[in-house]
Amino acid sequence: MDLAEPALGVAASTPTVWLKPGREKSLRRRHPWVFSGAVDRVDGDAAAGATVELASSSGERLGRAAYSPASQIRARVWSFEPGERIDADFFRRRLERAVDSRRRLGLLEPGAACRLAFSESDGLPGLIVDRYGEYLVCQFLSAGAEVWRATIVEQLAELCTPRGIYERSEGGARHKEGLPSRRELLAGEEPPRELQIVGGNARWIVDIAHGQKTGAYLDQQANRERVAAHARGAEVLDAFSYTGGFSIACLRAGAASAALVDSSADALALAERETALNGVHDRCRFVTANVFDELRAVRDAGTRFDLVVLDPPKFVHSADQIPSGSRGYKDVNMLGLALVRPGGTLATFSCSGHVDAALFQKIVAGAAVDAGRTAQILERLSQPADHPVATEFPEADYLKGLILRVH
Ligand code: SAH
| pLDDT tops 80 at residue 404 | yes
C-alpha–C-alpha distance, residues 317 and 356, integer Å: 13
Report which protein residue has its CA nearest ligand 1's atom 22.
290
Q: What is the enclosing helix (H) or strand (E) of 75?
A: strand 73-79
**Ligand 1 near 241 CB (within 6 A):** yes
pLDDT at 10: 47
Q: Which amino acid is at 201?
A: N
| pLDDT tops 80 at residue 86 | yes
**Ligand 1 near 349 CB (within 6 A):** no
pLDDT at 172: 83
CA of 21 to the centre of ligand 1 (A): 45
CA of 269 to the centre of ligand 1 (A): 14
pLDDT digits (tens, 9 = 90+) for 131-143: 999 999 999 999 9
The ligand 1 atom nearest the CA atom of 246:
7
Which residues lie across from 347 on neighbouring strands? 309, 403
The ligand 1 atom nearest the CA atom of 242:
13
**Pocket perturbation via mutation, ligand 1, pick of 263, 311, 335 by most ligand atoms within 8 A of CB:** 263
Report which protein residue has its CA nearest ligand 1's atom 6.
245
pLDDT digits (tens, 9 = 90+) for 101-122: 999 999 999 999 999 999 999 9
Q: Which of 112, 72, 92, 317 is nearest to 222 (CA)?
A: 112
Mean pLDDT, the chain, rounded, equals: 95
**Pocket perturbation via mutation, ligand 1, pick of 238, 240, 329 by most ligand atoms within 8 A of CB:** 240
User: What's the whole-number mean pLDDT along residues 185-202?
Assistant: 95
CA of 335 to the centre of ligand 1 (A): 16
The ligand 1 atom nearest the CA atom of 220:
7
5 in helix, strand or coil? coil
Contacts of residue 58, defined as CB under 8 A and 6 or more positions apart, other chains included, come to none
**Ligand 1 near 286 CB (within 6 A):** no
Q: Which amino acid is at 216?
A: A
7 band by pLDDT with thresholds 50, 70 and 90: very low
176 band by pLDDT with thresholds 50, 70 and 90: confident
CA of 360 to the centre of ligand 1 (A): 18
Q: What is the DSSP secondary-structure string of 217-259?
A: -GGGHHHHHHHHTT-TT-EEEEET-TTTHHHHHHHHTT-SEEE
250 is known as an active-site residue: no
Report which protein residue has its CA nearest ligand 1's atom 7.
245
pLDDT at 175: 87
| pLDDT tops 60 at residue 194 | yes
| pLDDT tops 80 at residue 9 | no
**Ligand 1 near 223 CB (within 6 A):** no
CA of 262 to the centre of ligand 1 (A): 5
Angle at which helices 245-252 and 221-228 pack, to 10 degrees? 40
pLDDT at 2: 40
Strands 305-310 and 113-118: unpaired
| pLDDT tops 60 at residue 8 | no
pTM of the model: 0.95
200 band by pLDDT with thresholds 50, 70 and 90: confident
CA of 99 to the centre of ligand 1 (A): 29
Report which protein residue has its CA nearest ligand 1's atom 10.
240
User: What's the whole-number mean pLDDT along residues 94-106?
Assistant: 98
The ligand 1 atom nearest the CA atom of 238:
1
pLDDT digits (tens, 9 = 90+) for 290-317: 999 999 999 999 999 999 999 999 999 9
12 band by pLDDT with thresholds 50, 70 and 90: low
pLDDT at 328: 98
| pLDDT tops 80 at residue 246 | yes
Better-scored residue on pLDDT, 6 or 182: 182
